[in-house]
Chains A and B, each alone.
Chain A
């Protein structure tokens, strides 16, 4: 029989072997448990990993949903100067008021401020002074010994008080129409400027004064202890809407100036009700507002979303680069490995901050701040992954099954990615997860230090929020509390989850627990 050579063996040359005889071993009744099935089941059994995964999911949902729901409302409107006054309001959630999240703070105020807060309550019916701990005492250490001080619990939302605003005729009419429809009073009678000539308060305080005061702003009460109104009377102001109690119809609600063609009306608006007028609901910020008056809840979500997107991008790019680089290094070995190792040695020697600074200086004009930050992370980030892939290649490339695959005619690419690479998947997945908290931490540090500046009206980062809140740490700690809490939760849960994954993928721990 002469030997025949076929470039491709035709199908008819194949023949089944042993179809006649019966096999006597039993069929497997359960499914085999593979590497990944095993790992997943071990992660699920680890309670702390599951808890961490749930926290991560909640944080991610927060970052996705909140900016979508709250976009385009007061939260991002930095350019609108009216809202700038709603600054540094403490957190207020109506259903959590029993736990102290009620927008109040304890404060020591002098008598001028105290009377002003009380007067707000008398005028609008919303008394900002919730509680008086210690009334009218003298403080020996204070600058002026004659001033009386009050320790009070102040509702910062009611203490917003009045805003002096100049309106056009149309705006003035629109507000009056709204007042008639809703029954909420927005415009309050103007104070007589003649009665306030001696008073030296700033415009913000001046807008709240509708009663007789001395030069320091302390209220001059009548014999019954009531405020003495100094409302402007008798001027024509086109007002035809709700009037305050005790108004006999003679109070003026605006100081009118300008010619008849273009009149402008300077009015006192209740800030609390003005918010309702603008947005249709009462002001209540779950995380409070920052020093610029932006809502921390949505700002933080925007920053968190940016952090997540950046971290996932970095993780993905690192995975691809690290895999390819590490595979080539590990598979070819020898001189290729030596040269490539030296390159990654040099890259890993550059301090990360230096890389970031140089990329910011060079690339931020061409590809933007975010792009250059991404480049900086990627430049050295893949080295760890490449290293672990390389180790796996060194471990497996000499094994018999690889030799078998080669004998069967598999090419380099097929052996690399079909036969050896899947062994390193476990470490790679763990690496990818553990990269994310690292990136978020570095990003927040860099933005905190001001090396990278991501702040704009629609975008922010956790680090910038921390840096902006830092000067107010003493008096308004909530500005810094929520970003800090967010980043701490994130780091802890990602590290827990990552460690759980690492244990689950560690073959030496298989079946031990």
Chain B
């Protein structure tokens, strides 16, 4: 087991390194717009190119990148909207908004999704199940931005319950701030609830029809007892890693929802760094590395969590 973890971690570091290196080389091959953003003065452009290190050979630039950024953790300064500021500090500053919104979403969506799924599984093939399953099918498929439009139009513009955009500021845990976050939380939540409900229903129905549950009933346990003690626990084995994966995913957030509700988060930072007239390459590098890392880490944690929850599963064993 330990050996397997080490192996996976080493592999992850290798994959991360290769991806970031590819990104770096590809970015360096692009025309250098940031150097030209202060006018067409040839001398000035040349000076800025020199200062930004573009005049060195590519391999030397790469060596500097590896030693300074990947090992030293210095991601450079912003060349775009946050001109002159350290990109890492900007990134850290934008992080809380994304995390808080997604955390609230998970807090309300995960229990609701589980409950719906369990209820549908217990009422299998009755009208309640059909209702939930149909709803889930629709909510899983419809893109989250469509909910965002619906929420914004009906709850914010027509009923005027919430502000259409998120309030600015950093008081993330105040009530005022929370109410402005509700539309975003709702739009993010529908998909999560539906996905989790569908998965839970599928797993639980499979467990509920298995032989050992019949045995549990024959030995005298009531239906409720079998469901809670045996079925639910066993069906959680594949569901829990999924929830865990979503929890890690909340750091990266949803770009499109952040755009719609103007949440000052990481997703918007990323969009800004590439869609503006002078692309912010340092910011783009940092965020690309960040998204890559999140994806890789969540993959590993999800895989490993299987064996922690269910001792019968041994990851990486020869069997």
A residues apposed to B, CB below 8 Å: 345-346, 349-351, 353-354, 357-358, 361-362, 437, 441, 444-445, 448-451, 466, 470, 473-474, 477, 480, 484, 487-488, 491-492, 494-496
Contact A449 B141 (CB under 8 A): no
Contact B19 A488 (CB under 8 A): no
B1 interface hit (Cβ, 8 Å):
no
Interface positions, chain B 123-172, Cβ under 8 Å from A, are 137-138, 140-143, 145-146, 149, 152-153, 157, 164
B176 interface hit (Cβ, 8 Å):
no
Min CB distance A59 to B, Å, is 14
Chain B residues near A491 (CB-CB < 8 A) = 141-143
Bound-state Cα–Cα, A64 to B164, Å: 37
Contact A487 B143 (CB under 8 A): yes
CB contacts between A and B, total, < 8 Å: 91
Segment of B53-61, B99-107, B253-261 engaged in the interface with chain A: B253-261
Bound-state Cα–Cα, A106 to B141, Å: 33
Contact A349 B256 (CB under 8 A): no
| Given A354-B288, A354-B292, A358-B23: A448 in contact with B146 (beta carbons within 8 A) | no
Question: Given B18, B26, B140, B271, which contacts A346 in the complex, CB threshold below 8 Å?
Answer: B18
Chain A residues near B157 (CB-CB < 8 A) = 473-474
Chain B residues near A496 (CB-CB < 8 A) = 137, 141
Bound-state Cα–Cα, A357 to B16, Å: 18
Chain B residues near A358 (CB-CB < 8 A) = 23, 26-27
Chain B residues near A350 (CB-CB < 8 A) = 19, 22, 292
Bound-state Cα–Cα, A492 to B259, Å: 24
Bound-state Cα–Cα, A346 to B275, Å: 26
Chain A residues near B146 (CB-CB < 8 A) = 484, 487-488
Residue of A nearest to B18 (CB): A346
Bound-state Cα–Cα, A354 to B287, Å: 9
Question: Given B18, B19, B143, B274, which contacts A357 in the complex, CB threshold below 8 Å?
Answer: B274
Contact A449 B256 (CB under 8 A): yes
Contact B295 A351 (CB under 8 A): yes
Bound-state Cα–Cα, A349 to B30, Å: 23
B82 interface hit (Cβ, 8 Å):
no
Bound-state Cα–Cα, A111 to B292, Å: 59
Contact A492 B30 (CB under 8 A): no
Chain A residues near B306 (CB-CB < 8 A) = none
Interface centre among A346, A349, A354 (most CB of B within 10 A): A354
Bound-state Cα–Cα, A448 to B153, Å: 18
Min CB distance B305 to A, Å, is 19
Contact A473 B143 (CB under 8 A): no
Residue of B nearest to A477 (CB): B153
Contact B152 A353 (CB under 8 A): no
Given contacts A351-B295, A466-B145, A488-B143, 5 further A-B contacts (CB under 8 A): A345-B11, A354-B288, A358-B27, A470-B149, A491-B141
Chain B 10-28 per-residue mask, 1 if CB under 8 angstroms from chain A, else 0:
0100011011001100110
Residue of B nearest to A490 (CB): B141
Contact B295 A349 (CB under 8 A): yes
Min CB distance A80 to B, Å, is 30
Contact B138 A492 (CB under 8 A): yes
Contact A346 B19 (CB under 8 A): yes
Question: Given A345, A351, A437, A448, which contacts B145 in the complex, CB threshold below 8 Å?
Answer: A448
Bound-state Cα–Cα, A477 to B154, Å: 10
Contact A470 B260 (CB under 8 A): yes
13 contacts between A and B (CB under 8 A): A345-B15, A349-B292, A350-B19, A362-B30, A445-B143, A448-B256, A449-B256, A450-B275, A470-B149, A484-B149, A488-B146, A495-B141, A496-B137
Bound-state Cα–Cα, A441 to B144, Å: 10
Min CB distance B170 to A, Å, is 25
